[in-house]
A and B are shown apart, each in its own frame.
Chain A
Amino acid sequence: MVETQRPGGLATKTGSPGPSRSPATATAAQLIKLVEQGIGLVSDGERADLRKRLDQTLRRLRDPNVRVIVVGEFKQGKSKLINALVNAPVCPVDDDIATSVPTVVRHGDPASAFILLPQADTDPGDDEKPERQPIRINELAAYVSERGNPGNAKKLVAAEVFLPRKVLAGGLTLVDSPGVGGLGSTHTLSTLTALPSADALLLVSDASQEYTEPEIRFLRQAMRITPSVVGVLSKTDLYPEWRRVAELDRGHLAQVSPDIPLYPVSSDLRLEAARLQDTELNAESGFPGLIGHLRKEIVGKAERLQRRSVSQDLLSVTENLRLSLQSELGALEDPEGTPRMIAALEEAKSQADELRKRSARWQITLNDGIGDLIADMEYDLRDRLRRIQREAEAAIDQGDPGPTWTQFSKWLEECAAAAISDTFVWTSERAQWLAAQVAEHFSEDEVALPALRVSDAGDALDPVDDMPGLDDGRINPMQKVLIGMRGSYGGVLMFGLLTGIFGMALINPLSVGAGLLLGRKAYREDKEARLKRRQGEAKALVRRQLDDVTFQVGKQLKDRLRLVQRSTRDHFTEIADEHHRSLADSVTAAQKAASVYRLEKDMRVRQIKEELKKVDAVHHAAELVAAEVAQSSTAVQPEAGPTAEGRTAGMAAAATDSTAGSPTAGSPTAGSPTAGRHSTGPAQAGTAQAVAAGR
């Protein structure tokens, strides 16, 4: 209940951010209190739907999760970087043996470790929760390194380590990924597929040399999914010329995107500093700068987003609450105006109802868009793989496939992985664009909740003014979709699946031996015919393999898109439902008010005014939080808003490019249907530029 906290006091506490901003944790605690207060308001009434929304908000606030994925070629010191960041030997480090399973390091007390196993019997679909098994922390190497678990033979999805470390307390979650080892490998694919769930990525490269071509190529691709990148130059203790390398690398990064920071660090110095408790050495290791950036920019940015979404949730809940209270109050105080007010409310209600229907424009945009996207994705995947198949068949025709089969299948695997990576990146981009499109259509058609001005009986209904300088928090459903994906581990599963397919039987070059046993028939056969048969066998194998890939990967991607569709739909339907419910409640309240006796009326008016005051207090507090977020985001750096806009603009531009001349251009779903199917290259380039420009 609210009595324990004075509303006014709370508002000043949260709202006035003083000259030096209070540390993030304190703000988080205050936000939690504020949301709890909101929940108190909601529980008084019968609005279970609003309560659900605030409960979710509270859960997110209590367990913040900012995922930073550490990527790079193998043997660049990724695992050691994480160890140095948390000052503990969590990830196994070895001269030779590399990491084979992604390891998630996050905050938790006491220290503990788990491995995640895919559940054997379930479909590799969306909602699958991997099985968790506790292990001892010092046994981690047996599970995550190539030595203990070569090529991830134990088929782990990931390992999780919880550590009571201050650096992780703000929700920072570090993910150690297996090295990418050149683009086109399956590791690269698994890293890319894990990116949509990451808030930022750290690209680790050691100081022995400047960036190589595969590294930059990977970076360009990764940035299309996660634009927030930090370069880390590792092992500066070992190379006297690291400053030169850093300079060269900065030049290369600037060519990719103008504002990627680069932090030269030495993990060894940092670990040594921790051992000796030597602050000077710690400063020399370069880690304070990196940690500062992680805290301020990445966690800070995530926190700002978080705060913004909390304030938006609270604002919308209080608006919903206020509407029915005010309608009732209006009816009590001005009985003559009641019928007009009810009529207007009914009108708004029916409009809100429209929005819930399947025929609403945003629903159509979403359903059509996803349908088209799935079709395009399947076509794209099939097209890419078919090209590989053709190339493979040509290669087989050139000679005996037997002797080179091992290399050949490896080549095939790499090509397929590269093709899937491309399709994946492209699909993610399109999905994001679609979500933005749906949000736009939803907000265009949305009925703004009316505000009742009790004092002025003339115009009963008036749309609520938007908060100046605030973009609508509801416009960003992608945020929510991504939060949904965060737990799904879909990408990692995809990787496991791919190696599963390729670990199939090979053509045995000595299969002639079996022929020998069968009465030397094989030897009597014409050599030519034997070769032909073998080529045929090889082609059939390739075809079957690629068919499997198309089927399985297509299914995975489809599941992913369906997940996007479901989360987006649920997100907006909930909002529409809330509005509908609030309007309906208001109508009932107003009708009820007309039949109330005089004596009761005064008491009720007082009650409502009391209640309204509480709601207003929370509303005001939330407004202040929102204003603060808006202010800090404009002051510090361009926020997610502009980025999303830039991306949308880019996608739109790309879409117009490719649909130019198509008759459907300009329709609500224009651009999304066949857009960019054939002209993926230029369209994607345009997007990348637009994203870069938007940032």
Chain B
Amino acid sequence: MSTSISAGVADLLQDALAVYSDDPVAVASLQAYATRLSEPLRVAVAGMVKAGKSTLLNAIIGEEIAPTDTGECTRIVTWYRYGHTPRITLYPAVGEPRILPFKRVDGRLVFVLGGSRAEDVERLVVEWPSQGLRELTLIDTPGIASLSGDVSARSTEFLTPADAPSEADAIIYLMRHLHASDLRFLESFRDTEAGRSGTVNALAVLSRADEIGAGRIDSLLSAGDIAERYRRDHSLRKLALGVVPVAGLLAQSARSMRQADFESLRLLSGLDRSERERLLLSTDRFIRATVPEGLSAEARASLLERYGLFGIRLGVVLIRSGFDEPTRLAHELARRSGLDPLLDLVARQFQARAEALKARTALVGLENLLRSVPREGAGGLAVGLERVQANAHEFRELRLLATIRTTGIPLSNELAEEAERLIGGWGAAPGIRVGLAPETPPEEILAEARSYLKRWRTVAENPLTDRAALETCRVVTRSCEGIVAEFSALQLQRQ
């Protein structure tokens, strides 16, 4: 199903290349779209300044490579993609790309720009041999609402260019609280994309979730409630596919926990409760304190820097309740940091429909080209474009999803919610669509999908159903048929 889209779009791009063969600019961009189709999905990490974008990016990759700092840090759009050997390439706004010297301090990369100023650099590309990057190219962006206006402008220009499809196929948007600038940005990201293809392809992350409850041990529960409220929030719902809370710092440090960290935490867990609470009253106190003996000032500072008060509190409590072994503790911390649900959501929402998302970017680009540089003989292309857009079921799903979340459809709430799930609003895997647990045997999924199919056919045939809802019914039944067909084929193979 999905391969056919990619193939269709690739063919279309080849035809376009033939038509525009004498226009070098068009050829370059068309070739870029074509290569993009076979590359991993590009996901940008965006958000206001100091939302914790680089920290989360490190957590997703599982290694601390992106530089982070208390002051504003990321000033250049930086790509992290898979490569066999580590390499950093600088792409200036004007001129040839050049390789930067490879330098790391405490494991983090240091970008030595040489003679270039940050303003003149279009992007940095970091190639890194990390498993996480095989499926996903991650893009770190400078913060929005920065006091140095040109930095923010660079991000906005990159993510929401005025007259081209965005370089990113999807976006993970970080925010600390739902802020007016957050909404405005998400809206503009959707606008450039959706103006023509009408989809939602952003995930919202409530970042620095541990700080929401002032670092209390129940901070993440509190953050979970807030995320739940945002998920239902009308203005955010139509801009983002989901909202998850993540304690980015904890996630990053847990995924790269060192033995020394564990030893320090274990020392701390040896203290009795009241003494520990006094110690953890403030960061200054923690650094100044003399108990427990054996914990050096550097170790304290490093622990605080890597885990924060919340991470230390949680780590100590976990050690006391039985996670007294580094690997287990690291896993538990990572789990509690909320990173897993985020990765899960990324897989469900982005990777599962990576083909469609990439193809869509290419189509938007092609459409732009056709409109801005009309050509003789391009008529056939326009027809082909129209055909792919109208016929590809994935696009219809994405479009309907956007409609359900923005204007709504004239169906009962219950039916609308069901439709949203069946067309993959909660995740594109068949199991999730029919509302069953992921490890459910295929027979049950098949049976469930059949019953949904029947139900939606009935809805479609009901004369009382609103005409405007018929299109919805058509798409939903088609999605159900897709699942049924897939699983029937599986069964046939097995027999």
* Chain A residues in the interface with B (C-beta under 8 A): 73-75, 95-96, 181-182, 184-185, 208-214, 216, 235-242, 244-245, 248, 252, 266, 268-269, 272, 281, 284, 402-404, 406-407, 410, 414, 509-510, 512-513
Contact = CB atoms under 8 A, between A and B. Distances in A.
B229 to A, nearest CB: 7
Nearest to B284: A284
Given A75-B177, A185-B180, A248-B71, A269 B145 contact: no
Given A212-B145, A242-B283, A510-B468, 7 more contacts: A96-B212, A181-B179, A181-B180, A214-B181, A236-B282, A237-B283, A513-B410
Interface string B275-300: 00000011111010000000000000
B55 interface: no
B407 interface: yes
A403 B49 contact: no
A208 B309 CA distance: 13
Given A236-B282, A244-B71, A213 B152 contact: yes
Contact of B287 (A75, A210, A240): A240
A268 B145 CA distance: 29
A96 B222 contact: yes
A284 B289 CA distance: 14
B418 interface: no
B147 A245 contact: no
Given A182-B180, A235-B214, A510-B410, A214 B145 contact: yes
A284 B234 contact: no
Nearest to B288: A284
13 contacts: A75-B176, A75-B177, A95-B212, A95-B213, A96-B212, A185-B180, A208-B176, A210-B72, A238-B282, A238-B309, A240-B308, A269-B281, A509-B407
B463 to A, nearest CB: 13
A191 to B, nearest CB: 14
A252 B187 contact: no
B147 A213 contact: yes
B208 interface: yes
B115 interface: no
A550 to B, nearest CB: 24
B177 A237 contact: no
Interface of A is mostly: loop
Nearest to B403: A403
Nearest to B409: A510
Contacts of A513: 410, 466
Nearest to B286: A240
B357 to A, nearest CB: 23
Contacts of B72: 210
A248 B71 CA distance: 8
A213 B146 contact: yes
Given A96-B226, A214-B145, A406 B234 contact: yes
Contacts of A269: 281-282
A50 B359 CA distance: 85
Interface in B195-245: 208, 211-215, 219, 222-223, 225-226, 229, 234-235
B283 A240 contact: yes
| Most A C-beta atoms less than 10 A away, residue of B71, B72, B304 | B71
B149 interface: yes
A450 to B, nearest CB: 60
Contact of A238 (B147, B152, B215, B235): B215
Given A184-B180, A208-B50, A216-B147, A237 B281 contact: yes
Contacts of A95: 212-214, 219, 222-223, 225-226
A522 to B, nearest CB: 11
Contacts of A216: 147
A208 B284 CA distance: 15
B48 interface: yes
B85 interface: no
A182 B282 CA distance: 29
Contacts of A242: 283
A266 B281 CA distance: 11
Given A95-B222, A214-B181, A509-B407, A238 B208 contact: no
B116 interface: no
A212 B208 contact: no
B147 A96 contact: no
A284 B226 CA distance: 32
A238 B214 contact: yes
B305 interface: yes
B70 interface: yes
Contacts of B234: 406
B131 interface: no
A213 B177 contact: no
Contacts of B146: 212-213
A181 B50 CA distance: 16
B139 to A, nearest CB: 22
A527 to B, nearest CB: 13
A559 B473 CA distance: 58
Given A95-B213, A212-B147, A284-B282, A182 B181 contact: yes
B59 to A, nearest CB: 18
A252 B146 CA distance: 12
B406 interface: yes
Contacts of A240: 283, 287, 301, 304-305, 308
B287 A212 contact: no
Given A213-B152, A407-B235, A266 B180 contact: no
Given A236-B282, A238-B309, A402-B407, A208 B211 contact: yes
| Most A C-beta atoms less than 10 A away, residue of B49, B180, B181, B309 | B180
Contacts of B211: 208, 238
Contacts of A241: 70
A291 B224 CA distance: 36
A208 B214 CA distance: 11
Nearest to A403: B407
Contacts of B225: 95-96
Nearest to A94: B222
Contacts of B466: 513
A621 B187 CA distance: 67
A245 B212 contact: no
| Most B C-beta atoms less than 10 A away, residue of A214, A240, A414 | A240
Nearest to A187: B180
Nearest 6 A/B pairs, CB to CB: A237-B282, A182-B180, A209-B50, A241-B70, A240-B283, A403-B407
Contacts of A181: 179-180
A632 B468 CA distance: 77
A414 B282 contact: no
B403 to A, nearest CB: 8
Contacts of B308: 238, 240
A269 B308 CA distance: 17
Contacts of A74: 177
A182 B183 CA distance: 11
Nearest to B239: A407
A406 B71 CA distance: 37
Interface in B396-415: 406-407, 410
Contacts of B70: 209, 241, 244-245
Nearest to A399: B195
B309 to A, nearest CB: 6
B283 to A, nearest CB: 4
